[in-house]
Amino acid sequence: MPELPEVESVRRGLDSHLVGRTFGEVTVLHPRASRDTPNLAERLAGRRIEGTGRRGKFLWLVLDDAEALVIHLRMSGQVRITETTVPISPHTRIVAQLDGTVAQFVDQRTFGSWSLSDIDEQGIPVSLSHIAPDLLDAGLDHRGVAKRLKMRRGELKPALLDQGLVSGIGNIYADEMLWRACLHPRQQPRRVSIARLTELLHRGEEVMREALAQGGTSFDSLYVHVNGESGYFDRSLHAYGQGGGEPCDRCGELMVKTKVGGRGTTFCPRCQRRY
């Protein structure tokens, strides 16, 4: 599933290709793609794109009249910029013409969607008001988030995946930030100091920025940029996907793969001790 760096890479691509353009004909090829806005095609026609935004794993196009087109990629959604209205994939769900270019929404699993939402006074779509700021938010209070994290019951990794605490973290980057901070994914947050939890969040921001610089992480064709190219941060991963007997890049101990909170999880049993 695309996480913060991947979604931000898509947002930047849409920003460079679509801002200033006006929607022409929009064709919805699968009703699930516009399930929250059934009359999406009619409501988009003639609307100008004024900008783009993102929070966590959600991105949006800022439209005229203080409204946003919210795009949720979910498991397999892609927005591809093309020169043709002919669907580029059997999984193309929406085709939108915009002043000489075309945006196609491709979604193999049909979990993603396009929907319209009003924008609040902070510039965030109202439909995303429940989503917390993310690790790349300039105003994020890392220590404040760490204090709330410390109050969580249960295990550390599932808490990091809660989009109401801090958004944009998924399975890949949770494993990476825990590895960098030398914290066990099953550790109880209440037993970790606020200083270490703050450091964990900073390590998360660090890995997100590094991934973004490399276009995100692509393990298969389900995540690509708007031009169809893949990100290559998978070459720099130290934890996620390394549970097949690979040694830890820091200490040489064999990495362990298990499940935490129902999610596949890889960690180093020596560097990331549970206490």
Look up the CATH number of domain 4-128. 3.20.190.10
Domain ranges of the chain: 4-128, 142-267
pLDDT in tens, 155-179: 999 999 999 999 999 898 999 999 9
Q: What is the pTM of this model?
A: 0.88
pLDDT at 103 over 80: yes
What is the Cα 182 distance to its own chain's centre? 24
Q: Which DSSP state fits 185? A: T
Confidence category of residue 39, pLDDT binned at 50, 70, 90: very high
Q: Which DSSP state fits 231? A: P
80 is in an annotated binding site: no
pLDDT at 244 over 90: no
The predicted structure's pLDDT at residue 232? 42
- Assign a CATH topology to domain 142-267: Helicase, Ruva Protein; domain 3 (1.10.8)
pLDDT at 243 over 90: no
What is the Cα 186 distance to its own chain's centre? 23
Q: Report DSSP letters for 108-170, one per residue.
A: TTS--EEEEEEB-TTS-BGGGTTSPPBTT-TT--HHHHHHHHHT--S-HHHHHT-TTTSBS--
202 is in an annotated binding site: no
Report d(CA 161, CA 156) in Å as an integer: 9
Strand partners, 69: 61, 116
91 is in an annotated binding site: yes
pLDDT in tens, 54-97: 999 899 999 998 899 999 998 889 999 999 999 999 999 999 99
Average pLDDT over residues 214-238: 60
The residues that are catalytic are 2-3, 57, 263
